[in-house]
Amino acid sequence: IEIYSLHVDCKVTSRFAHTVITSKIINRANESHEATFEVELPKTAFITNFSMSIDGKVYPGIIKEKASAQKEYDEAVSHGQSAGLVKITGRKLEQFHVSVSIAAASKVTFELAYEELLKRQLGLFELLIKVRPQQLVKHFQIDVHIFEPQGIRFLETDSTFMTNELTEALTKVQNETKAHILFKPTVDQQKINPELDETLLNGDFLVRYDVKRVATAGDIQIVNGYFVHYFAPQKMPVFPKNIVFVIDRSGSMAGRKIEQTRDALLKILQDLRPEDHFSLITFSNKVAEWKSALLQATAENVASAAGFVQTITARGGTDINRALLTAVSMLDKAERLPERSVSMIILLTDGQPTSGESNVEVIQENIQKAVNGKYALFCLGFGFDVSYSFLEKMALSNGGIARRLYENADAALQLQGFYQEVATPILMKIEMQYPENAVEGLTENNFKLFFEGSEIIVSGKISNELDLLPVEIKAQSHASDLTLKEEANVKEKEQVFQNQSYIFGNFIERLWAYLTIQQLLEKSISAQEEQQKALEERALELSLQYGFVTPLTSMVVTKPAGQQQTELANKPTEAG
């Protein structure tokens, strides 16, 4: 079985990435063989299309509602279930895997397409393409086209497998608003050494970039009646933080996990700003405080906290409820905190609540009542013994987010990286306002906090008559209350994309649908049952209308007669 052509074609238009992977395979044997197509794609992406064509006959994947697809599938496969076609394979990736039996000398072409909105983190957008052909490929090519009307400020490529020879196969052409990156290694360049038929291509191919920002009220782009508004202010004064770290030191954290946590905390303490206030709480079945109050991050206090961190050892149960309530009450009682400041709790745990209150619903209720919208709660789940859905619901109900830390060599870096994302709050209570009578289907437009290096994105549909789209942004910065205004000329904005040949015409509409579905799914996590149903119904409707494989839809893949006929591609979620 030979892969004679593998092409990754990625078009990024104004942060929205559309990727198509095409693999062409021939069976050179004189009997039938399995041909396998295995691709890793970002977890944040939605698959939009898949097809196999075998000797000219096309077998398309069809996107249906998950429940009905599952029912059809169960009827087709009465002898129990085979594994789905998609599974999570790591911190950032999931894998799509399908095999089909092809006759001697037959050819098959596999094609998979997926879309995602690139998210700005620590000042950069990152496009991740996983490369793992597992054999030398005669025609191997990665094409990345980027078009950013705001202008490209910075662009770099990076890879975990580059050698000097392979660098020669990489070209980058760039002007003010566009870039084309081409990676096209010959068979010889792909080889680990000239004698062996082994490939060097195994790992991540990354493109990182950022855009230019001139307008203070952000940048508005419009195509076919849909708009997207990007807002990422820079060079603003940073709010002082009041931050309580709540660290699990139960028995299961023993060994490498607690070491990595200590290493990361020592680095994070060094990164606190002098005007920040902080404290540390550790917990097993007992809750221990470094100090009973928040202290300013002076060199002396940071050194004392570092000493405390070095003494953390792991044993005992897990009383998440009491630890978090202690953190909330510490913030409630804190005195002499800066008037304009941002308060947050960062919880790190690796297990289920086993001591004290162990009913997760009661804990969620207790915490939400105690926090009462005053503080942001971030929940980091270490490894796979945590109840991720419990942590996610708790974080989303309290103005924060949840993240899973993967138990591998870079866990300490994952923890530090997360801290860096929330380390510099520069705006709070952000309201993005648009004329009510002229805009519909608006995505989330109120945000509690904005951290430097990230980006706020709002999208919606504008009514046909509109010539000018006025926007107003209200927010609080450390220095003052802000009001920013901007007017977008609809006709002029539409013009920007007219002559870009490689852009799919309705990309802002698809971006709007992608963002809306992501937000509906996120809201449904912390919603009450009835509301949850309504949110999921709307997300399902959009997933089917725009052809996205989301946690509510399935792609049914049908194979030629005589093989296990149907298989399902479902979207896995971090909560499982």
- Side chain identity, residue 474: K
pLDDT score for 234: 87
The reported pLDDT for the residue numbered 83 is 55
State how far the Cα of 101 lies from the Cα of 58, in Å rounded to an integer. 15
Q: Note whether 294 and 338 are within 8 A (CB).
A: no
For the structural domain made of 2-212+551-556, what CATH number should be given?
2.60.40
Residues 6+ apart with CB under 8 A from 345: 243, 244, 246, 324, 327, 328, 331, 371, 375, 376, 377, 378, 400
Q: Locate 422 and state its tokens.
A: 């929330």
* 90-138 per-position pLDDT tens digit: 889 999 999 999 999 999 999 999 999 999 999 999 999 999 999 999 9
Mapped onto helix, strand or coil, the DSSP state of residue 512 is helix
The residues of the chain that CATH labels 3.40.50.410 are: 241-423
Say which CATH topology domain 241-423 has. Answer: Rossmann fold (3.40.50)
The pLDDT score that the predictor gives to residue 364 is 96
How far apart (Å, rounded) are the C-alpha atoms in residues 197 and 195? 7
> Is there a contact between 403 and 418 (Cβ–Cβ < 8 Å)?
yes
pLDDT at position 81: 45
Q: Are 399 and 217 in contact (CB under 8 A)?
A: no
The predicted pLDDT at position 503 comes to 59
d(CA 203, CA 217): 39
Please name the residue that has the structure tokens 């005195």: 335
The pLDDT value given to residue 504: 62
Asked if residue 96 lies in contact with residue 86, where contact means CB atoms within 8 angstroms, the answer is yes
CA distance 460 to 472: 15
**Best CA proximity match to 298, nearest among 281, 278, 280:** 278
Strands 139-147 and 178-183: antiparallel
pLDDT tens for the chain, residues 1 to 576: 999 999 999 999 999 999 999 999 999 999 999 999 999 999 999 999 999 999 889 999 999 999 888 887 777 665 444 556 899 888 899 999 999 999 999 999 999 999 999 999 999 999 999 999 999 999 999 999 999 999 999 999 999 999 988 999 999 999 999 999 999 999 999 999 899 899 999 999 999 999 999 878 999 999 999 999 999 998 899 999 999 999 999 999 999 999 999 999 999 999 999 999 999 999 999 999 999 999 999 999 999 999 999 999 999 999 999 999 999 999 999 988 998 999 999 999 998 999 999 999 999 999 999 999 999 999 999 999 999 999 999 999 999 999 999 998 899 999 999 999 999 999 999 999 999 999 999 999 999 999 999 999 999 999 878 999 999 999 999 999 999 999 999 999 988 887 665 556 689 999 999 999 999 999 999 999 999 999 999 999 999 999 999 999 999 998 887 776 788 899 999 887
161-185 in b/e form (b: 16+ CB < 10 A) is ebeeebeebbeeeeeebbbebebeb
Q: What is the DSSP string of 19-88?
A: EEEEEEEE--SSS-EEEEEEEEEETT-EEEEEEEEETTEEEEEEEEEHHHHHHHHHHH-TT-PPPPSEEE
CB 134 within 8 A of CB 199: yes
Where in the chain do CATH 2.60.40 domains reside?
A: 2-212+551-556
What pLDDT was estimated at residue 542?
A: 98
